[in-house]
Structure 1
Amino acid sequence: MTDRALLFTALAALALTAAGAAGGWVAGLAGLPLPWLIGSLAASALIVGLGGHRLPAGFRYPEPLRLSFIAVIGLMIGAQVTPDLATRLPGLAVSLAALAVFTLAAFAASYAVFRGLGGYDRVTAFYCATPGGLYESIMLGEAAGADIRQLTLQQFLRIILVVTLLPLGITLIEGMPVGSSAGVTGAPPGAEVTPWGLASTLAAGAVGLIAARRLRLPAGQLLGPLLAAAALNLTGFGPVALPAELVIAAQIVVGASLGARFLGVTGRMLGRAAGLGLVSVGVMLAMAGGAAMALSGVTGKPVDVLLISFAPGGVTEMSLVALSLGASPAIVTLHHLFRIGLTVVIISVASKLKIPR
């Protein structure tokens, strides 16, 4: 690539990122869930959809920039693995075991929707159907030969639909707004950032990246920092601390980079994906509701708390919903980390074994 082409690519990436920041700001004003991520994705996708022909030929969002901020997302998730979560683990054996069964069943049911109803090829249907692990599903699915535009659409539609429909449903049941609709923000990850905390967090992220690369971990740019941050917290060298601005920047960059993948997506493709997403999410939420009702009598936990813990949505938004209901965000977070971790293990093994072919 010539210097001129590199310059145009850099300027295009900068423009998409700036548009993503603006989209995130607007989404935040509108009270949407995951505003910086979803708003950035929507703005970037809109630009490439309407003006993709003006982008440099063969344009791709700069990979090093994207991977760097995916590492920040890994640190953010790993920061939620605290000693408090570890002490609660023995008492959650029943619900976690049920969650493992639910994850497998939801995966299979969603696969049937995309393969049978949607007619997607087996590889694309498999990675579209994952009930968690958005970034890992996209990265491993792309490497396995899945249709990246369909896969990106379906994975983000899963998050969007769950974090929109579930709080709305609970709001109707409870008679009061919950989650993002209630204006709950929670303490940002960097609320008590200290120089030592920030330095140790960034150092842990660098160590995690290097270790993941040497061990050839799947989705290592996310999993390595995640495990390093968790280790930092659990060994007492934490707490992991990230400035809120860095976490926001990571969501903007990741959203803009994924929005850029929508280059060439048609309105017909989007409509079809949304329809399939509604069916898939509807089936998984119905299964989560059934599991929550069955487990409530056994565990003594409220049905709505268990439903939030099982719902295949984002960790952050589900924790906000739990907070607004007076439930323990730590318990909800642990269930979501377990579901995501199990899903990542499943698709990582499948990727190694080249399943499905």
Structure 2
Amino acid sequence: MQLHRAPIRSQLLAVVIGVAGGLAAYFSGLPLPWMLGPMIANTIAAMIKVPVTGPARLRPYVMPVIGVMLGSGVTADVVGLLGSWVMTLLLLPLFLACAAGISYAVYRRLGRYDPVTAFYSAMPGGLNEMVILGTEAGGDERRIALAHAARVLIIIVFVALFFGLVLGVSSGGRGASLWVGIYEITVQDYVILGACAVAGMFLGKRIGLPAAAVFGPMILSGIAHIAGWVTVAPPSVLVIAAQITIGTIIGTRFVGASLAEVRKDIGLSAVASFLMLLAAIGFAEVIVLVSAIPLAQAFLAFSPGGLTEMSLLTLAMEQDVAYVSIMHIIRITLVIALAPLVFRWVRGRKGPL
């Protein structure tokens, strides 16, 4: 019985630490407080061996809610801008090749990782997918997982701080101007948004959408908002709860890793992430020159963080959620589809990676 209770207690402890971290970040004025606060607090807790576990039981409930939130940012005006996304779509594969090449050089030459581990650690795709593919190819599962966890953590922190401290963009902290209360939404709104969440999740999985639990609800929510069936976003308290949950899960990914492992992996990931973000800025500048898309949105679209995390970050920054989310979905899909093919092709040349 005690064995069953321990994980629950450790998950509750992680959530409590996440809430405390979010509150501390909120009152200190940190950008994106409800995600960064729990991330940082639980990362520290994991490093000092506090018995925390990611609230995995909450994840299936949070993901569809996040999808509905993201879909609420889709409007008819946004759909009308689809033509301006063409250049981003054309440049995205080139950016991925550039970012992956830079990151691979860091892990292989600087970190001295074996070729397989370096390759799948460097791919700017989804954490779970890269761990599975890398392990099947013979890579070091733990190092690949730590590399991607560190990349997501570092990129979110850097991008949030850059927007908040350099660009002065509001990110859901004390300066947030829009608050949707629980009682501001009608019963009909709750029914429609709930239906989008549940039906979208099942539909997304049924047809094999990438990140189905998020993207499916996002599509249905976007349709509902464009059609005018619902005109509000989910309550702000759910937005905060979603960010706390995601931040807590990211922070607890470092549980069980030694300080030496984390120090090396975070160091290498910091170098790789910084270079990838420099490339993202460069590609974003090109987008600005040839289209009407603002630099902030183009930069978010190219920043290789996690799909859910970058989408939440975009929502908090009050940027174009549809544009950024779709670009990240395409990014992750391309990496998952092409990474094994590229790996086999490079290995087939019989030269060292």
Measured against the shorter chain, the TM-score band is 0.7 to 0.9
Paired position in structure 2 for 1:158: 155
1:344 to 1:297, Cα distance in 2 relative to 1, 3 A: closer
2:98 paired with 1:88: no
2:278 paired with 1:286: yes
How far is 1:286 from its partner? 2.6
Partners of 1:189 and 1:244 within 8 A in 2: yes
Matches within 5 A, 1:104-253: 104-121=97-114, 125-126=118-119, 128-131=121-124, 137-144=126-133, 145=135, 146-147=141-142, 148-165=145-162, 167-168=164-165, 170-171=166-167, 177-180=168-171, 184-188=175-179, 193-239=185-231, 241-253=233-245
Using the TM superposition, name which of 144-153 and 290-299 deviates more: 290-299
Paired position in structure 1 for 2:19: 21
Partners of 1:161 and 1:278 within 8 A in 2: no
Write the distance in 2 (CA, Å) between the matches of 1:260 and 1:21. 14
How far is 1:8 from its partner? 2.6
1:204 to 1:98, Cα distance in 2 relative to 1, 3 A: same
Q: Deviations over 1:46-82 (max 9, x none)?
A: 3333234xx4xxx854533222212322322233232
Partners of 1:159 and 1:312 within 8 A in 2: no
Paired position in structure 1 for 2:290: 298
Partners of 2:243 and 2:312 within 8 A in 1: no
Please, which runs of 5 or more residues in structure 2 have no aligned partner? 136-140, 348-353
1:211 to 1:299, Cα distance in 2 relative to 1, 3 A: closer
Partners of 1:309 and 1:318 within 8 A in 2: no
1:254 to 1:290, Cα distance in 2 relative to 1, 3 A: closer
Matches within 5 A, 1:267-282: 267-282=259-274
Selected match of 2:35 from 31, 34, 37:
37
Partners of 1:189 and 1:241 within 8 A in 2: yes
Q: Percent of aligned positions with the same letter in both sequences?
A: 28
Partners of 1:127 and 1:138 within 8 A in 2: no
Using the TM superposition, name which of 214-223 and 16-25 deviates more: 214-223
Q: Deviations over 1:146-176 (max 9, x none)?
A: 42233212221122123224554x44xxxxx
Paired position in structure 2 for 1:338: 326
Using the TM superposition, name which of 259-268 and 21-30 deviates more: 259-268
1:206 to 1:153, Cα distance in 2 relative to 1, 3 A: same
Q: Deviations over 1:257-279 (max 9, x none)?
A: 33332112233333333332332
How far is 1:86 from its partner? 0.5
Write the distance in 2 (CA, Å) between the matches of 1:238 and 1:73. 16
Please, which runs of 5 or more residues in structure 1 have no aligned partner? 172-176, 324-328
2:57 paired with 1:64: yes
The root-mean-square deviation of aligned C-alpha atoms, in Å, is: 3.5
Write the distance in 2 (CA, Å) between the matches of 1:190 and 1:118. 49
Q: Deviations over 1:212-262 (max 9, x none)?
A: 333344433333323332333344433362111112112222322333321
1:75 to 1:125, Cα distance in 2 relative to 1, 3 A: farther
2:75 paired with 1:75: no
1:159 to 1:111, Cα distance in 2 relative to 1, 3 A: farther
Give the paired residue count.
332
Write the distance in 1 (CA, Å) between the matches of 2:316 and 2:148. 27
Relative to the length of structure 2, the TM-score reads 0.78
